[in-house]
Amino acid sequence: EALQLNKPVRVSFTSPQTDRSERYSMLVEGLVELHSGWMALALVWDDEAQEDFRLVLPLDCINSWDDVLVDVPQGLRDAMPFAWTRYMDQRFELVPGVVMDASEEPVPMRLWFENQTAHRYLSQPFHNSQDLRIERSGNGIVMQASLVPNAPFIEWMLHHGASAQILEPASLREKISNEVQEMAKSYAKMFGP
């Protein structure tokens, strides 16, 4: 109802980052269902700081809401429109919390997948930017996509183990390599000879 009527609401929620209860006035600009559940895409007003910000809020974090006598703060009336669809399309998945860098541009990537894994993504693309042109390499297939390399994307790549690699850009490949090396250190022998 708040989304359909563009009605401001006062929402109390537990912050996904801090587990602290927060309360803000907001305009719900969109609702989206992800595999992790429903998310509210909102324009929020911070009374203390006297500024607005965008928020991706899991609906199951909301403790209470009130639409009775909630005025639209002037800051929300003056806020610039935001292209949520473009923002979502450029990411592997939305991350709950404050939208920190809305202008972050997608990165062209070359990704290698082992044959069995690759065939799954040929019939069910992993992202809407996935290029349908492929290149065979070794015992797999190289695919291209262009997206913001956020934490969910990196976690998704790592869950494939040795069945997937980031080939380009080199900076992202190096970042993943460093993370894997740190993970390997945490599994060094703790006990025994």
Per residue in 60-75, pLDDT (tens digit) is 999 998 876 667 777 7
Residue 83 vs residues 22, 69, 95, 103, 144: alpha-carbon distances, Å = 25, 28, 16, 10, 24
9 or 74, greater pLDDT? 9
pTM over 0.85? The answer is no
Q: Order of strands, edge to edge, in the sheet holding 51-58?
A: 62-66, 9-14, 21-34, 37-46, 51-58, 97-98
The predicted structure's pLDDT at residue 101: 77
pLDDT tens-digit series, residues 103-156:
789 999 999 999 999 999 999 999 999 998 889 988 999 999 999 999 899 999
pLDDT tens-digit series, residues 148-181:
999 899 999 999 999 999 999 999 999 999 988 8
The DSSP code for 25 is E
